[in-house]
Structure 1
Amino acid sequence: NHAFFLCVHIWAALCKYFHIHSEVDMWGSVRTSPSIGLTDEQKDFQKVAFDFAANEMAPHMAEWDLKEIFPVEAMRKAAQLGFGGIYVNPDVGGSGLSRLDTSIIFEALSTGCVSTTAYISIHNMCAWMIDTFGNNEQREKFCPDLCAMQKFASYCLTEPGSGSDAASLLTSATLQGDHYILNGSKAFISGGGDTDVYVVMCRTGGKGPKGISCLVVEKGTPGLSFGKKEKKVGWNSQPTRAVIFEDCAVPVINRLGAEGEGFSIAMKGLNGGRINIASCSLGAAHASVLLARDHMCVRKQFGETLSNSQFLQFKLAEMATKLVASRLLVRQAAVALQEGRPEAVSLCSMAKLFVTDECFSICNQALQIHGGYGYLKDYAVQQYVRDIRVHQILEGTNEVMRMIIARSLLTES
């Protein structure tokens, strides 16, 4: 933790010394500033994240998208600032920060590239799962390399036949001596094929959630293979492939927790994942509001700038209001999860539902304000729209979020 903050202060000093500035002011006006209410330490590492996004990510965002580049070296630079294991314990290389701190960082990084930040958030979730549910040997084996991003991780829950109904997964793990023999496949796996560690949910027992266990599978294990690289609307800086297991022998010592605890581990990971992905949506929306504002100030129609149109002024006001409301909800959910409050699951689901919907709407409206220019790939706003559309689907669809919230309300005593 102390090493992380040392990096933060060094980086901030270097940025000040070399007068590094973003082409777009990612801080925005005081009315929409994402630093309102934060501690001085939180403001410090938020600024480091904003500066990193502006200087190491934003200039390459379009190229990574167009050429489908997985920016390994850029992510390793982010890991040097402590962003590879943000909420992993320091004794295994993590930064030991809170869920709120994590949300602040992911929001800032996403202003530079949503797709890359979203992968970093998944990687962080996997590292946290190993840190939290693994034994000391597992933590010491996997976490240091993951926190340094010398190795990368993927989360493997979804299957071709089980998406929202995750408890119906069919990938099987049969115990043979000191190994599990893994058979089945996982679909839509972020980083699949390019990453080194796969946190896999598989069936070791009977039907339903209690028959599911969690195994860590390392790349290079015989029987592990990958499908073709998927062509996607967005999220193009991270590869997506099927992960396939054919008589794949995984040591029993690579199981996280006891047999039958896998589904619980998966869901606890997803609670944080939902806050993370909502935070990535916040970053895209924040950047889009500023891009829309700047465009309105320079674009002229009917003899005057768009900023003089009351209709568009009101649209911009609505966008900014939705952004601030979304940020407050995410941060409340993050604190609830960190403190283990009973309402944490519902709040995480509410944050994921509300924020991914509203932030997509903000980005889409920003594109509309740009008119035809917004539809050109020369303008960043279209990439924010494409990259965050999937946030309404993954980490549990927004329809499933409604189910979780409603179930919670209806079972209250």
Structure 2
Amino acid sequence: MPDHAPQPVDRIAPTDEARELFALVRELARREIAPTAADEEEAGRFPREVFTLLSRSGLLALPYDSAYGGGDQPYEVYLQVLEELAAVRLTVGLGASVHTLACHALAGFGTKEQRAELLPAMLGGGLLGAYCLSEPAAGSDAASLRTKAVRDGDDWVLTGTKAWITHGGIADFYTVLARSGGPGARGITAYLVPGDAPGLSAAVPERKMGMKGSPTAQVHFDGVRVPDSRRLGEEGQGFTIALAALDSGRLGIAACAIGVAQAALDGAVEYATGRRQFGRPVADFQGLRFLLADMATQIAAGRALYLAAARLRDAGLPFAKEAAMAKLMCTDTAMKVTTDAVQVLGGYGYTADFPVERYMREAKVLQIVEGTNQIQRMVIARHLAGPESR
């Protein structure tokens, strides 16, 4: 059964331009993504042509400066676009978020010359990015990464392996964090590496329970030479750059999670109002009505939280704690709502004939990526009570 188009959500549009943007994204998603989403996910097919369309439409550049080809949109608007895309197909919504994350280091910490030379093609030239921080032995403890960057004249030579890389093997560029100095967070530097650099290769994509259309793979750097002109920020500033990107990236994951949850709720309501038992729609029974009401309330609360964090970011205020809260609550909400949606559909919810089982499998990964939800709790607690004393 093909996925249904998501029900329109009353978006918060601060401008007429934003209102038109939401309508454009909704129509694009309905026409170009929804009809084939279920079949392509089942087949594990990555929709590169959709990302090319998004790039040419300016939808992969929304939160960046128009001087470099960006859309000049606040995060409040950008995140709602991600939610619309994820509600139709998480591979697309999450992919757009990852691409934005991969551009963050250059846009925020690159020199004026670097931005002018490289950023326009990354934002609107049909390119696709990936973000390389995690490693096989450095997941939540990212500061212990081992990929090395050794200076050799005007170049850096990168050697090591990155793990769990979304778009690994198909990206046109990789933002890579590597160890250029001593141990710990202060020895890490950021680099922008072309996807076709000699010595760069990717392993066979991971076999995942969900998000089958989005390739996740290890990426190997075997003596990859990167000119110093592609070093981002100062030497040793890489971990600071990574954390700044993750704060924003967590908001992207939160928005995607609410998109998946909204799609699951829409499917559950559609089924419950059409399915009849004991002579009436199952939606008439109080047990299901209360379940649907709780699902809708949780979604609304999660959406309000990620938008509140986005407004802090847009105002130039600290938002790291609120980003962690939004990522935590929204992804937990997605897991709960999608599980309840399967329950609403009963036996049909457990079959691939309806999309809610896919939503449930996809929701799980959102509790893990961009910092597990256990890490989010640590971040929140640190902001509340200060770093743990030893």
TM-score band w.r.t. shorter chain: over 0.9
Name which of 340, 357, 377 aligns with 1:365: 340
2:134 aligned partner: 158
Could you tell me which of 355, 361, 373 is aligned with 1:386? Answer: 361
Cα deviation per residue 1:343-372 (whole Å; 9 max; x = unaligned)? x11000000001100122111111110111
- Aligned amino acid, residue 350 of structure 1: M
How big is the shift at 1:144? 1.8
Paired with 2:138 and 2:316, the residues of 1 have a C-alpha distance of 29
Q: Is the 8 A contact 1:349 1:404 kept in 2?
A: yes
Name 2:320's counterpart in structure 1: 345
| Mapped pair 1:26 → 2:6 | yes
In the TM superposition, residue 37 of structure 1 has moved relative to its aligned partner by 6.7
| Aligned match of 1:19 | none
Counterparts of 1:218-297 in structure 2, within 5 Å, are 218-297=194-273
Deviation of residue 378 (structure 1)? Answer: 2.0
Letter in 1 for 2:172: D
Code of the residue aligned with 1:122 in structure 2: it is V
Aligned residue in 1 for 2:47? 71
Query: In the TM superposition, what is the alpha-carbon distance from 1:385 to its structure 2 partner?
Result: 1.5
Amino acid at match of 2:35: P
State the SS of the aligned residue for 2:292. Answer: helix
Gaps of at least 5 residues in structure 2 are none
User: In structure 1, which of residues 112, 129, 132 is the aligned counterpart of residue 108 of structure 2?
Assistant: 132
1:375 counterpart residue number: 350
Mapping 1:33-44, distance limit 5 Å: 33-36=9-12, 38-44=14-20
Q: What is the root-mean-square deviation in Å for CA atoms of aligned residues?
A: 1.7
2-structure distance, mates of 1:34, 1:149: 31
For 1:142, the equivalent position in structure 2 comes to: 118
Corresponding residue for residue 17 of structure 1: none
Asked if 2 retains the 8 angstrom alpha-carbon contact of 1:53 and 1:111, the reply is no
C-alpha distance in 2 between matches for 1:184 and 1:36: 44
Please state whether the residue corresponding to 1:206 is helix, strand or coil: coil
Q: 1:36 to 1:91 in 2, by over 3 A?
A: closer
CA contact (8 A) 1:52 1:109 kept: no
CA contact (8 A) 1:154 1:190 kept: yes
TM-score (ref. length: structure 2):
0.95
2:160 to 173, 184, 206: 184
Q: 8 Å contact 1:223–1:246 — kept in the other structure?
A: yes
Structure 1 spans left out of the alignment, 5+ residues: 1-21
Kept after mapping to 1: 8 A contact 2:34/2:88: yes
Equivalence map 1:310-329=2 (5 Å):
310-329=286-305
Q: Which residue of 2 aligns with 1:10?
A: none
One-letter code of the match for 1:385?
Answer: M
Contact 1:50–1:111 at 8 Å: present in 2 too? no
Q: Secondary structure at the match of 2:31?
A: helix
Deviation at 1:330, TM superposition (A): 0.4
Q: Are positions 1:401 and 2:373 aligned together?
A: no
Q: Equivalents in 1 of 2:310, 2:201: separation in Å?
A: 36
Amino acid corresponding to residue 40 of structure 1 in structure 2: D
Q: Deviations over 1:112-161 (max 9, x none)?
A: 10122101110012123212211233223332222225211100000000
Q: Distance in 1 between matches of 2:139 and 2:303?
A: 28
Q: Distance in 1 between matches of 2:140 and 2:363?
A: 19
Q: Cα deviation per residue 1:273-325 (whole Å; 9 max; x = unaligned)?
A: 10001101111111111111110011122332111110100000000000101
In terms of mean alpha carbon deviation, does 380-389 or 292-301 score higher?
Answer: 380-389
How far is 1:173 from its partner? 0.4
Residue 11 (structure 1) aligns with: none
**Secondary structure of 1:247's match?**
strand
Contact 1:85 1:128 in 2 (8 A): no
Q: Partners of 1:303 and 1:269 in 2: how far apart?
A: 54
Between stretches 244-253 and 124-133, larger displacement belongs to: 124-133
Give the 3-state SS of the residue equivalent to 2:378 in structure 1.
Answer: helix
When normalised by structure 1's length, the TM-score is 0.90
Aligned-partner residue type, residue 259 of structure 2: G
**In 2 relative to 1, CA 184–25 (structure 1 residues): closer, same or farther, beyond 3 Å?**
closer
Secondary structure, counterpart of 1:111 in structure 2: helix
* Secondary structure class of the residue paired with 1:368: helix
Letter in 2 for 1:212: I
Measure the CA separation in 1 of the matches of 2:171 and 2:73: 24
Q: Could you tell me how far 1:264 is from its partner in structure 2?
A: 0.7
Q: What is the alpha-carbon distance in structure 2 between the residues aligned to residue 126 and residue 36 of structure 1?
A: 27
Give the share of equivalent positions with the same residue, in percent. Answer: 36
Native 8 Å contact 1:285 1:323 kept in 2: yes
Give the distance between the partners of 2:3 and 2:289, measured in 1 at CA.
23
Superposed, which structure 2 residues align to 1:115-130 within 5 Å?
Answer: 115-130=91-106
Identify the range of structure 1 (42-51 vs 285-294) with the bigger mean alpha-carbon deviation. Answer: 42-51
> Following TM superposition, by how much is the alpha carbon of 1:79 offset from its aligned partner in structure 2, in angstroms?
2.0
Which among 50, 57, 68 is matched to residue 26 of structure 2? 50
